[in-house]
A and B are shown apart, each in its own frame.
Chain A
């Protein structure tokens, strides 16, 4: 995920301080990992260095001095380019669940038991996300980001189901190799 572009996107709505950008990011992308303030700050400095953003001024209304940033024309062009660019539909090549199944077979532990437990944990998380998105005060951004997470967990679960059904063959294959 490109924090640079997301900050440029938030700045497209108007000049802002680092702290406001963090807060707006966390509000707009409810299921995303919250941005660390330090990350916002260093990213803003790099945007300025690369000419994509600039310092508009400073405010110190009653509190500590805060730097206000705005996007430049070049920043706007870069953002437009990014929003039209295709994200590579790459699968998650590092599949920890698969790695654990293979290692469980190698170690002769209980891959089926592991898959059942993992399945229950996935279902539990899906149930929590479903509760979040069906709450009466859920706005559309919350619903859509919960849906995104739900779809991915669902994909994991379908993969786990077919894997569990084929463990005997996989075990034979792993043991033979």
Chain B
């Protein structure tokens, strides 16, 4: 598989939180359809980088270009619309709405985009199937295992057909078997659908699912490893 086309390019990103320089000079490129792991010790700036790349936070310096547009300069309204249609996000936990059933959680982004309820549920069900959580439709997040909840979260991140999924420690709260199942489902589905994944993790076994690894240290890129030769 070749992932030569850059989909998202960030140059010389810097971001300061209070007096902490979370990012100092991060240049990174995500190619279409690739799975890129961003690793680094805790506090190295991984989440801040993800927030800047996904347009959740604006960098203090540097540029983020997605499909020819400067995300860092896009007006709020255009930015949130683009995020809703082109990006999906998965966090370590907490992004499912506890009062809603699994299928309603997955269907929510479609409902918010104006898709009818029946159609939204149909598409949501198909994504739940791909993540192996068919049968959990009527359960609420509190009634699911951590691994099931993460697979439901991924179905929700993918339901709108994004080009990129940003995943911040998606297996951080799971045991190793559940983590393996979530990763296998995510990688398989993303490859099948040609979706690029920016995967943040401090777990080497999770990073080993990626095509490429970028390592952060003190807010800057320390090292980059291309695994592609292996395949």
| Chain A interface (Cβ < 8 Å from any Cβ of B) | 116, 119-120, 122-124, 126-131, 134, 150-151, 153-154, 157-158, 161, 165
Contacts and interface: CB of A to CB of B under 8 A. Distances in A.
Scoring B41, B184, B188, B227 by chain A CB atoms within 10 A of each residue's CB, the highest score goes to B227
Nearest to A160: B204
A120 B205 contact: no
B231 A123 contact: no
Nearest to A130: B208
A150 B205 CA distance: 7
Contact of A127 (B41, B222, B227): B227
Contact of A128 (B41, B204, B230): B230
A154 B41 contact: no
Interface residues of B, number: 18
B52 interface: no
Query: DSSP class of B's interface residues: helix, strand, loop or mixed?
Result: mixed
Nearest to A116: B223
- The 9 A-B pairs with the shortest beta carbon distances in the complex, nearest first, are A126-B208, A130-B208, A127-B227, A127-B208, A120-B225, A157-B204, A154-B204, A128-B230, A154-B205
A171 B125 CA distance: 57
A165 B41 CA distance: 10
A150 B207 CA distance: 12
Given A123-B208, A123-B213, A129-B208, A161 B41 contact: yes
Nearest to A134: B184
Contacts of B187: 134
25 contacts: A116-B222, A119-B223, A120-B223, A122-B204, A123-B225, A123-B227, A124-B229, A124-B230, A126-B205, A126-B207, A126-B208, A127-B208, A127-B209, A127-B210, A127-B230, A128-B230, A130-B205, A130-B208, A130-B209, A131-B230, A134-B184, A134-B188, A134-B209, A150-B208, A157-B204
